[in-house]
Amino acid sequence: MQTCKVVSQKGRWAYSVVVSGKAKVEYRVDQWVAPVEGCGPLSLFATREAARDFVNRYLFAFNDWRIYTCEFETSAYTCLWKQSGPCLIEYPPGTLFADRIMLRELL
């Protein structure tokens, strides 16, 4: 299984495309990243196809997204959350939840 993370690329920094504000996570290649304190877990896609489908369905109007292969540690949580409650109710097909993610290679 080749897991992938879709991020918003701003210069040399990569950020979550779903979560904003204080819960936003900054990703770097070859470095483990965990959720911001008081939030969790992180999300990624089980396959390249699921990541590309997400981009084609939801991010087609934007040009700053990138897809990276990644490593992850599975989370016991089954939804994204922050202190004020759930971030999303429904998730795209192929979504996985992680306690930590490491970006590896840009596709």
Tens-digit pLDDT profile for residues 12-36: 777 777 666 777 788 999 999 999 8
Least confident of 34-38, 45-49, 84-88: 84-88
Residue-level length of the chain: 107
Q: What is the pLDDT of residue 84?
A: 66
Contacts of 9 by beta carbon, 8 Å cutoff, 6+ apart: 64, 65, 66
Q: What is the pLDDT of residue 25?
A: 86
If you average pLDDT over residues 98-106, what whole number do you get? 95
Q: Is the pLDDT of residue 37 over 90?
A: no
The percent of residues above 90 in pLDDT, for the chain, comes to 46
- Record the pTM: 0.86
**Structural domain boundaries, residue 38:** 4-106
Structurally, the chain folds into a number of domains equal to 1
| Calpha distance 89→53 (Å, rounded) | 19
